[in-house]
Chain A
Amino acid sequence: MSYAYLFKYIIIGDTGVGKSCLLLQFTDKRFQPVHDLTIGVEFGARMITIDGKQIKLQIWDTAGQESFRSITRSYYRGAAGALLVYDITRRDTFNHLTSWLEDARQHSNSNMVIMLIGNKSDLEARREVKKEEGEAFAREHGLVFMETSAKTAANVEEAFIDTAKEIYRKIQEGVFDINNEANGIKLGPQHSPNSPTSPSSGNPLGGGRAGNCC
């Protein structure tokens, strides 16, 4: 399957906020209540369409555990978008956002689009972080904000796609240098002049499947 652009994403946030479940919901459209701990990094991909153009999202799902920080840091490099996730039912995951953000800003390219996500919006009864707080944080740090639920799939599509739209907009505006792969954006095979002529084998998984989630 060919694509016009490939965007590289990274999902970050404390352990247990639902990063892997968001990815699973986005790539596989399913929810798994019990999910293994992510070890190191995992990976998923999906094709979306923006402005009539096929865009492949390549999503790196990182481990939230502190031990893996040194590993996940190397994935910021070359990411065009980041989903910074916290859990609305756990205040400390919200409190740690600044350190995640600092990490992201420090290790990524400056144009990286960061989307702030308050996950588990279905657990309204156990909410500890108000929506307004998330909005305020996003405003303060210049992020896009959204509350999602990986369980009910509410806003999950939007979160990934809106981020892609923002990146796409930045490309149109010429903010991103699309020829520099360090920005996390790649032209598709038919656009790229020096790529192998035909993707004969194609993507065996059709681009719509998650990797080794679970």
Chain B
Amino acid sequence: MNIVGSVLLLFSNEEQAFWLLVAVCERLLPDYYNTKVVGALIDQGVFSDLVGVSLPNLHSKLTELGLDDMVALSWFLTIFLNAIKFDAAVRILDLFFFDGSKLMFQLALEILKENEELIRNSKDEGEALLTISGFMEKITDARVENSSEIFIGQLISNSYRNFGETFSNKDIEKLRLKHRLKVVQNLEDNQMRSIVKNVAKRCPLTQEELEELYNIVKEEHLLSWRSRINTSQHQKLTSIMEERPRFDPCNQSPYRMDFELFAQIFPNLLPWPVHEIFVIRCFRLMDVNVTGILTFRDLSYLLGIFLKGDSTDKVTLFYKCHLPPAFNLSDLDDVINRKSFDDNEPEIGVEASTIVGSNKSSPVRASRSSTSVTEGITGVDETAIDAASEADELCSQSGASSAVCLDSPIPSSHASMRDLELIVEDEEIKLPKNKNFPIVGSPFSDDFSLPDRAPSEISDSFSLVEDASDAIKILSQKMQSTTLQEVQRRSNASHKEPIEPITQIQFIELWKTFYELIPHDDMQHHHSLAVAGTLLLQLGETQKYLQKEIDDAMKVSADDEPKTPETPTSPQDGPPSRVGDLKSCLQDGEWRLQVEHIIATILAESSLSEFFEKKYSLLELAKKYRENPSKRKA
């Protein structure tokens, strides 16, 4: 385009040159000068067709040499300015504006025709190309008798005589339409192949799975781009523009994802249900440049590890999702705001837990009218005891019962609070076997609730925690002897940079994410998760008190057991270490756990390690995704 533009400027003023260039770009050579020179590729197909019709013998030879769809590329891209001496080329340009793109094609045909004999005798493509380029060099604007030079005027008039009537500009338009689809499809396929190949090198997903994923992204993209453009994604679009072009093929893909698209695809291809906040965190984790755009590589990295990674990688990725920048304190903004916003909430919280406490002999089940909180675990659930106790404690102490556990950044927590109120005020209390205590309810997840223990089984629960604390000793010894070191070794091998330790509040968020992964009726995993969670919470506490090296702290956590007893489980007593207390979480500067601790603890629980070790097929998930159009929003 710069070549054509510069020549136009030689012969006309700026405005005229501009409008001539507009005519070239929009009408005469459509799509020639976009980033992929698509128009020029289309016209190669068109030209090949025309050669096939007009010069069939030559066409078969050119096809054999693999030149049929490339020989005229540079001619057309520069309207011969690059290929023929300037004086001669200007005459072509002049006629080109008079006659349209037809002129370009007929001239190219004439050039081939005049060299037909030589080309057909060429032994290889190099010889044919040299023949043609030698011919092009001889074209001049000066009529010299008896020289080997070729007069451009003669060439042009020959072209009119031989091919002037064979096709019209309309025919060319038709042919362009015919080839457009093929070329674009081809480019897309190539791009997909190159992206998939590129991504596959460092992704556990198979080629087939990546292609399927790519197609899903593409389809969703095409289905939704109109609506997304219209609904003011302007900011995000400009951020694409501002991004500096890089050579990663993924960055050039048109199918990049803003959050909306990511949230549409990613959670639906996971084998477990996840909360929206987790999706947001994953997005933040991958969006390192804060452009608001993820590439296909980012998506396949996430899915690759979540579906196919080994348990260490998987847990590490979950862990990273709960560290900054993926974790953001503003996730909890609602928690903090709500404290001042609603003064009587603490009372309600206390009341709620008092009710639980006072009804020891008659376990309650609160039935809720609101839709925002779903059924929790039915059946006796002593397994989730630490989670429940954590919740109770929050109710009574910080009064932020639902808030701490509130995941959604959207102020939706009131729903669950109202539920609580309903429970208390309406006294809509029934007496089934146990009670489900709605801790978290957001209209988005609709399924996250931490079950309270049945009060009649409190003692059982205590003993369970004691069991658990016994287990701590065993576990921490076990961990120290083997797992921890192994994990550290493994993670040192795979991650060059050390991973930041996790704070208590982040840890709680992480555990909540884990809880959501597991189906509500899956007692075994809930139990394991609860045990591991308690263990780690206490480990973190120990660390906080002792401020020692990690390894030392682990040793001590076993010795120190009596000092950090299962106090959290008795909310009314106000334990010294208020595990899970929002306030202490936020102020706490010392509660820390390393990713190795978490991995080691999880791997030590066989059911959990199995759970995280499990591999999933993306193809199956994709099939489900396609079969379930309800998930695809309009």
Contact = CB atoms under 8 A, between A and B. Distances in A.
A125 interface: no
Nearest to A188: B123
Main secondary structure of the interface of B (DSSP, over half): helix
B130 A211 contact: yes
B219 interface: no
A212 B2 CA distance: 20
A211 B129 contact: yes
A134 B70 CA distance: 34
A80 to B, nearest CB: 13
Interface stretch (B133-141, B353-361, B427-435, B438-446): B133-141
Contacts of B82: 36, 39
A58 interface: yes
Interface stretch (A110-118, A140-148, A150-158, A197-205): A197-205
A136 to B, nearest CB: 19
A43 B187 contact: no
A37 B3 contact: yes
A39 B129 contact: no
A106 B194 contact: yes
Interface in A54-93: 58, 66-68, 70-71, 73
A124 interface: no
Contacts of A211: 129-130, 133
Contacts of B51: none
Given A39-B73, A70-B187, A209-B130, A186 B37 contact: no
B123 A70 contact: no
B130 A71 contact: no
Size bracket, chain B contacts: 35 or more
Interface string B184-222: 000100100010011000000000000000000000000
Contact of B36 (A6, A67, A204, A209): A67
Interface residues of A, number: 34
A195 interface: yes
A204 B134 contact: yes
Contact of B248 (A99, A186, A196): A99
B118 A201 contact: yes
Contacts of A37: 2-3
Interface in A155-208: 186, 189, 195-196, 199-201, 203-205
Contacts of A99: 247-248
B87 interface: no
B247 A196 contact: no
Contacts of A6: 124
Contacts of A129: none
A70 B252 CA distance: 12
Nearest to B128: A43
Contacts of B74: 39-40, 42
B123 to A, nearest CB: 6
A102 interface: yes
Contacts of B133: 43, 211-212
Contacts of A96: 247
Interface of A: 6, 36-37, 39-43, 45, 58, 66-68, 70-71, 73, 96, 99, 102-103, 106, 186, 189, 195-196, 199-201, 203-205, 209, 211-212
5 contacts: A37-B2, A41-B70, A96-B247, A106-B198, A211-B130
Given A71-B70, A73-B190, 15 more contacts: A37-B2, A40-B70, A42-B74, A43-B130, A43-B133, A67-B37, A68-B37, A70-B187, A71-B37, A106-B197, A186-B124, A196-B123, A201-B118, A204-B118, A209-B130
